[in-house]
Amino acid sequence: MGLEITVPNTCIRGCCTSSSIPLHVPPSSYSLLSPIARGAESVVYEGNLDGNKVAVKKPILSTTEDINKFHKELQLLCKLDHPGIATLIAAHAKPPNYLFFFKFYESLNLAQKLHLDEWTPSINHALMIIIQLAKALQYLHNLGILHRDVKPANILLDEKLYPHLTDFGLAEYKNDLKSVSLENWKSSGKPTGGFHKKNMVGTLIYMAPEILRKELHTEKSDVYSFGVTINELLTGVVPYTDLRAEAQAHTVLEMNYTEQQLTAAVVSDELRPVLAAQESGVPSRLLALIQRCWDARPENRPSFDDIIKELDSIIEHRRDVDDRHLRPCKLHDNQVVDGSNNHLQAYQESINWSTLGELFSKRSSNATDSKLRTWHRPFDKPLSHCPTLSWGSYATCGRRETMEDTHFILPSICNEKDIHAFGIFDGHRGAAAAEFSAKAMPGFLQSLGSIGSPATTLVEAFLKTDAAFRDELDSCRKSRRVTQRDWHPGCTAVAALVVRNKLFVANSGDCRTILCRAGSPIALTKDHVASCPEERERVIRDGGQVHWQVDTWRVGLPALQVTRSIGDDDLKPAVTAEPEITETTLSADDEYVVIASDGLWDVMSNKEVISMMKDTVKEAGMCSKRLATEAVERGSKDNITVIVVFLRPVSTAERIY
Ligand SMILES: Nc1ncnc2c1ncn2[C@@H]1O[C@H](COP(=O)(O)OP(=O)(O)OP(=O)(O)O)[C@@H](O)[C@H]1O
Ligand SMILES: [Mn+2]
Ligand SMILES: [Mn+2]
């Protein structure tokens, strides 16, 4: 269950503290595998921490000053929590091991992606990266922090090619910079050469002229580096390489000398990289923004607040233009199919809903002290039957282009060895609600378990996840991170909770859970769809409208087929998030549970699932995969997610019960 935070959670000096990031990790919990990058000041390894793939940054420490620098970087990193900034998972700050453990970002850094992979992002994807990066820098500047080393090599890309700013090796609080310079002036009358060397930082081609002139770094110096970086993203050209190649071809000058020439040209002649071309589709307002970002005079450059306002407006303008020309056509199953809509999607997805959900999860589980938290135990009598659990899952987007299913597996909640939770979310109108819920609900389950019975815990977790998601969407609309007002993503949800010998299943929507008892299926959920008369009546009672359209009953204008879900805020309260709960006492007859999204059940009956399980190797992951691939073969048109949980000991050698 993740890494423990030992108390007191501080570094050896006591200068770095964190309530959520462990600052001591036992050597047995991690290993360093191969190095991925060797910098002047550190080696970054691919590694493993507590079973998860991580990036381990190991600074090269030779002097006390290096160690001071490590503590400073750690202090800063402990304060940061933003989806556009690389996530520090843990650190070790005790001699002889000084290590940073970061979330592993799969898709290279932006410099490698552009120049080794020769990646050319679409304008919409580039805009998404630019705005996410601007928000990360706005966040830092609001905290009074200057990054001082903004460049493509310090921007890591995750599997979706979303950017995460990293490398705080040169970052400083603005106020500290001021005092350093004042002290220096006082003690020596003028800055010394050593002082300049130490403070003239960042990579030359991204450095603002005032830094090259050896003046103090300000927020506007980060803005300059941002401008050069996003121009590189749009052109795919390393700044000045065209120039430099020429210089090298025509002279035998040392690199150092051409760099001096370059510096002089940037400072005195206002030389800048070649601006991206409007013909390649870059909006002219974006080009103008880049030019303002790299203006020679810091006071003429916009702040990140200004930059974000302008970017929002550029993006909204692009959408308006497209909306007028190309109206997306609505299909029966609520899927909007239209190529022109891709950039809209890219913008909606520029909000990382998983990360937002994770933040909620962290917040809700931090609200109660994990040490004091115990899970509600309704039965302390000795049990007649103790299930032995093993589980596995498989998720596939099937024939769809996008994946809108998510799931979570949460074993040993609050370190209780016999309490486990599993959940599946099936998104519609985008993946946002599903991505958010799969991260947020585990946090709510952990924090709520101590309060009520398992059944009320599940109901509360569903309602809280729904409320949190809709709040978050609202505030995104207010801050204009979501400018499309008629975007109302939702997801169906099913969660199973095993508490010793009891199984609780909560369901909102049309995911399904079955239990195999003595060889026969027992349905533990009922589908909440408008074709079900009771559900239809309930929707109408709660103020919703249902109508027959094409081939079935549907709810409201969006013509939703499901009648309960998380999100879908245009249809609340009629399309409620409140789940129906079943409670089952497990006995020796109970073999396994299958939880799956409707992509499986569309093409397979409960009985067929049971018979397929019969001749599959009894390993939960393999069973899940077999069921899902069979559903694809049978022509399921939907995303498919399957979780199988065995309830009694199984041997993988056993083929048939
Ligand atoms: N979390 C991560 N996931 C994947 N790769 C990473 C991660 N962190 C760092 N890297 C890789 O290691 C490189 C160096 O990381 P970082 O910039 O933090 O180290 P550094 O020693 O400060 O480098 P520099 O030479 O730029 O000062 C990155 O450019 C990236 O390629
Ligand atoms: Mn770096
Ligand atoms: Mn660095």
Between 484 and 446, the more confident residue is 446
Closest atom, ligand 1, to C-alpha of 59: 21
At residue 460, does pLDDT exceed 90? yes
| Site of tokens 């195999």 | 516
| Substitution site in 34, 110, 156 for ligand 1 pocket (most atoms within 8 Å of beta carbon) | 156
Whose atoms come closest to the Cα of 156: which ligand? 1
149 is catalytic: yes
Query: What is the distance between the alpha carbons of residues 128 and 318, in angstroms, rounded to a whole number?
Result: 13
> Which band of pLDDT confidence, cut at 50, 70 and 90, is reported for residue 400?
confident
| pLDDT above 80: residue 91 | yes
Q: Say what the pLDDT of residue 339 is.
A: 36
Of the ranges 308-317, 335-344, 405-414, which one carries the lowest mean pLDDT score? 335-344
Protein residue whose Cα sits closest to atom 23 of ligand 1: 39
Share of residues in the chain with pLDDT > 70 (%):
84
Predicted-complex ipTM score: 0.97
- Report how far ligand 1's centroid is from the alpha carbon of 420 (Å): 37
Rg of the chain, C-alpha, whole Å: 28
Could you tell me the pLDDT band of residue 640, with boundaries at 50, 70 and 90? Answer: very high
The active-site residue, picked from 66, 81, 149, 568, is 149
601-620 pLDDT per residue, tens: 999 999 999 999 998 888 89
Please determine, for residue 151, whether its predicted confidence score (pLDDT) is greater than 80: yes
Lowest mean pLDDT among 223-237, 247-261, 283-297, 319-333: 319-333
Distance 121 CA to ligand 3 centre (A): 26
Listed range (150-159, 343-352, 381-390) with the worst mean pLDDT: 343-352
> Is residue 51 left, alpha or beta, with left meaning phi > 0 and alpha meaning psi from -120 to 50?
left
- Is 332 or 315 the better-scoring residue by pLDDT? 315
1 pLDDT band (50/70/90 cuts)? very low
Which residue type is seen at 171? A
| CB neighbour class for 462 (10 Å; exposed up to 12, middle 13-18, buried from 19) | buried
Residue 252: band (very low, low, confident or very high) from pLDDT cuts 50, 70, 90: very low
Round to whole Å and give the CA distance between 92 and 98.
5
Which of 57-66, 176-185, 451-460 shows the lowest per-residue confidence on average (mean pLDDT)? 176-185
User: Is the separation of the CB atoms in 378 and 368 below 8 Å?
Assistant: no
The pLDDT score that the predictor gives to residue 329 is 32
Does residue 278 have a pLDDT over 90? Answer: no
Q: Which phi and psi (to 5°) does residue 447 adopt? A: -85, -20
What pLDDT does residue 528 have? Answer: 97
Encoding tokens for residue 551? 């081939």
pTM beyond 0.90: the answer is no
pLDDT, mean over the chain: 85
DSSP 130-145: HHHHHHHHHHHHHTTE
Task: Write the pLDDT tens digit of every residue in 476-497.
Answer: 888 766 666 778 999 999 999 9
Strand pairing report for 42-49 and 30-38: antiparallel
Confidence of residue 14 (pLDDT cuts 50, 70, 90): confident
The residue whose CA is least distant from atom 10 of ligand 1 is 44
What was the pLDDT predicted at 79? 92
pLDDT tens by residue, 259-273: 677 778 888 888 898
pLDDT in tens, 553-594: 999 988 899 999 999 999 999 999 999 999 999 999 999 999
Q: Which residue has the higher pLDDT, 438 or 197?
A: 438
Name which residue sits closest to atom 8 of ligand 1, judged by CA. Answer: 55
| pLDDT at 127 (0 to 100) | 93
Q: What is the pLDDT of residues 27-76, one digit of tens each?
A: 899 999 999 998 778 899 999 999 999 999 999 888 888 888 899 999 99
Percent of residues, the chain, with pLDDT higher than 90: 58
* pLDDT over 70 at 362, yes or no: yes
Ligand 1 atom nearest the C-alpha of 112 is 31
Structure tokens given for 642: 């399957």
